[in-house]
A and B are shown apart, each in its own frame.
Chain A
Amino acid sequence: MSGFGAMNALAKRELIRQTRQPSRVIASVATPLMLWVFIAGGFSNAMGDIAGGGARLTAYTIPGMASLTVMFASIFAAISLIQDRHDGVLRAALVSPAPKWSIAMSKIGAGSVIALIQAMIVLLALPLLGVALTPAAVLGSIGALACISVALIGIGLAMAWLVDSTQGFHGVMNALLMPMWLLSGAIFPVEDAAGWMRIIALANPLTWAHGAMRSSLGMSDAFHPLLAWGISVAFAVGGACLGIWAISRSQKTA
């Protein structure tokens, strides 16, 4: 069998589950919005215009908050793998003839759709802050956020496969993803950071995805768009491959 039918059915299942757990949407969107209010509200006057594009901190941090929303949604998507394993749904899928990549891709696909819808809610604040959401800006933002989402869900699936408890998974993901997000230009411009921090941030693929998104939104020209997009797409492909690889080696060797 091709696996696309199985992938579609499993992805549809994820979307149905989402509509029946509205608390997940609220948790994913509310935390970044609160963080934005506190950070941007607190530092905006002190920092003035930043990032060379004349953007205020209130607007500058919105793409970072959108990516944080995607990050939370991605963590939820990956956690569902642990839940599926405990509920037996995953065992039934693994025993079926459906190829294992279809299981991983259904999680990545549906998780990304959910993450993007939530992130777009956050991005809707931009016009209120004086940043125009042109069709190109919207498409660019969706593309960059999709790269982040695919990569993070893929990495999350690999982690969820290794860690058998949601508590352990949260610990690992927080230790990995929060520093990654904080050092990605989400809340301050990387180009103005101290030397050592700048080096770390430039090695972080999330920095380049933020660069691609801000460049699409006309908020920053600190990164060459082609390079930023190239690294973002490679990040997505790498993350997805990692997730697929982890689930594909699901047969236990005793």
Chain B
Amino acid sequence: MSAIELHDLRVVYRRKGEPERVALDGFSLESDGEMLALLGPNGAGKSTLMGVISQTIKPQSGRVIAPSSRAGLSMVFQTTALDVLLTVRENLHVSAALHGISRTEAAKRIDELAAELRIEDRLDEQVRHLSGGLARRADLARALVPHPSLLLLDEPTTGLDIDARRSFWDSMRRIREQLGMTVLLATHLIDEAERADRVAMMSEGRCVGLETPSSFRSSLGERVLRIHAQEREQLEHAMAWLESIGHQAVAIDHTLIVEHAAEIDLQACPVEGVSLTLAPPTLEDAYSVRTNTGALA
């Protein structure tokens, strides 16, 4: 059995005076012992999915098979869930008690985690005196104190600078190697999704692709062509040219993305004033291709 199984989840928000909004629309997924990224823009349904798994949101239909009880599940939220008036150590003891861990065992785990996350010299400081990056690592320690078999990370690096983000992910990698848990990461950041073993691309509450990052990239061929233009007419012209040579493009704002483009002769492009780039595909390209209809907005 997988660490987490989601079957055909459907969540529809109904609020007075507002139109119905489908947050999850038949979402299914299985994951075990890996880090799986849920990649999607704001409003794709990632946080709703996290809420359903953590049992704070009740779906209208579908089934969640998660760790046998919530004892095996822990979560890092978009903002830290620490009491700023308490010290880091006091916060971690509260987290341990919420998961039914004895004080002696908690003290041992806190010392181990603090060393691993490099916050051992800040354990007795109140959280309000910590920087954003340190508070984030302390918050990760809070979620890890119960040694969860399933860890949910809901956009955990929101608001962190580059160094703090790097430090957070370094810590996360070391901890995963030690504890070997399943991690579900909700993110809209491509570089964070690249760190995952597999990526589930989400759009409008649906899973539009579930593969490894390299599979997503290789599905676009060796090279993609990106055509950037300022004017809509130029893009329409470029689209027509691509169709004439047997290629389809998807449009993202002022850019066209063409997969399997290694063979295209760029010199033959009849549209003037556009920028043409032939490059290895990225996960972002794959996401654009999977979630766009191809039509110009």
Interface of A with B (CB < 8 Å)?
1-2, 5-6, 8-10, 13, 16-17, 20-21, 87-89, 91-98, 250-254
In the complex formed, the residue of B with least CB distance to A103 is B98
B58 with A252: CB separation less than 8 A = yes
Does the CB pair B85–A6 fall under 8 Å?
no
A20 touches B97 (CB 8 A): no
Determine whether the beta carbon of A254 is less than 8 Å from that of B14. yes
**Interchain CB contact under 8 A, B85 and A21:** yes
Q: Given known contacts A9-B94, A97-B69, A254-B60, is B83 in contact with A89 (CB within 8 Å)?
A: yes
Q: Which residues of B contact A89 (CB under 8 A)?
A: 81-83
B235-262, CB under 8 A of A: which get 1 and which 0?
0000000000000000000000000000
- The A-contacting residues of B in range 1-57, CB under 8 angstroms, are 11-14, 23, 48, 51, 54-57
**How many Å lie between the Cα of A13 and that of B97 in the bound state?**
11
Interchain CB contact under 8 A, A95 and B56: yes
Question: Given A1-B100, A97-B100, A98-B98, does the pair A13, B77 have CB atoms closer than 8 Å?
Answer: no
Nearest A residue to B82, CB-CB: A89
Shortest B127–chain A CB gap in Å is 10
Q: Is the interface of B mostly helix, strand, loop or mixed?
A: mixed
Find B70's partner among A10, A88, A97 (CB 8 Å cutoff). Answer: A97
Asked if B98 and A96 sit within 8 Å, CB to CB, the answer is yes
Among A5, A250, A254: residue with most chain B CB under 10 A: A254
CB-CB under 8 A from B157, the residues of chain A are none
Contact, CB under 8 Å: A13 / B90: yes
Q: Which of A16, A97, A253 contacts B98 (CB 8 A)?
A: A97
Provide a sorted-by-A list of 18 A–B residue pairs whose CB atoms are within 8 angstroms: A6-B98, A9-B98, A13-B94, A16-B90, A20-B126, A87-B79, A88-B82, A91-B56, A91-B75, A91-B81, A92-B81, A95-B74, A96-B95, A98-B100, A252-B51, A252-B56, A254-B11, A254-B58
Q: Could you tell me the distance in whole angstroms from the C-beta of A101 to the nearest C-beta in chain B?
A: 13
B228 interfacial contact with A, CB 8 Å = no
| B147 interface residue (CB < 8 Å to A) | no
| Residues in B78-120 with C-beta less than 8 Å from chain A | 79-86, 90, 93-100
If A8-B97, A88-B81 touch, does A254 touch B71 (CB 8 Å cutoff)? Answer: no
Which residue of A is nearest B97, CB measured?
A9
User: Residues of A contacting B85 with CB < 8 Å?
Assistant: 16-17, 20-21
Instruction: Establish whether residues B12 and A254, one from each chain, have CB atoms under 8 Å apart when the complex forms.
Output: yes
A6, A93, A250: the one within 8 Å of B100 (CB): A6
**Closest Cβ–Cβ distance, residue A49 to chain B (whole Å):** 47
Residues of chain B within 8 A (CB-CB) of A95 are: 54-56, 70, 73-75
